[in-house]
A = this chain, B = another copy of it.
């Protein structure tokens, strides 16, 4: 038992393989939602796969929807963090856009399940939750669009196509990755990232 753990009061949380029960539940739910869809996955399926009982799940999460909301929160947080780090870098805008574009492809492939669930299950969220997700998603979109706009103003990028359209064009490609990318397939994540970023940049660069 670590010093930190012993400082806490009461029964320490149950852990399996270093994961707490709620962590396991989210991870298992993510996998099952990606495999079968949210509605086709029962709470019973989730708790059985996580090796706990329903009572335990309802102890940590108010509802099945809350599990989904937590999945959304995690993926949004992760994506925003990574993009922010690229936006804040120095260097020519074209290089920053290229790096960010290539990175989001790689990161998406590393979290394929999250992306699958993200775009398939938006309609399962409550109105409030969906609004919140769209708000966060908008921040992400705007951050990327900011770089595109910067490139257009500086003359590096063509400006005959609206920046919003450019962002939707590229992120469509990214969000579609779970539909076709396979571990056993031809292209590695890095190769796909490089190709997609190249296609974007060359399409975007003033001819």
Report A's interface with B, CB cutoff 8 A.
10, 35-40, 55, 119-120, 123-124, 158, 160-162, 164-166, 168-177, 179-180, 186-187, 192, 195-196, 198-205, 207
Find out whether the CB atom of A176 lies under 8 angstroms from the CB atom of B186: no
Find out whether the CB atom of B199 lies under 8 angstroms from the CB atom of A166: yes
With both beta carbons as reference points, the residue of chain B lying nearest to A122 in the complex is identified as: B179
A-B contact pairs, 9 of them (CB 8 A): A37-B39, A119-B176, A161-B195, A162-B186, A168-B176, A172-B172, A172-B174, A172-B176, A203-B204
Q: What is the CA–CA distance of A30 and B89 in the complex, to the nearest angstrom?
A: 46
Residues in B with CB closer than 8 Å to A166 are 199
Q: Which 10 A-B pairs have the closest CB atoms?
A: A172-B176, A203-B203, A39-B39, A172-B173, A199-B203, A202-B203, A161-B195, A169-B173, A172-B172, A37-B123
| Minimum Cβ distance to chain B for residue A126 (Å) | 12
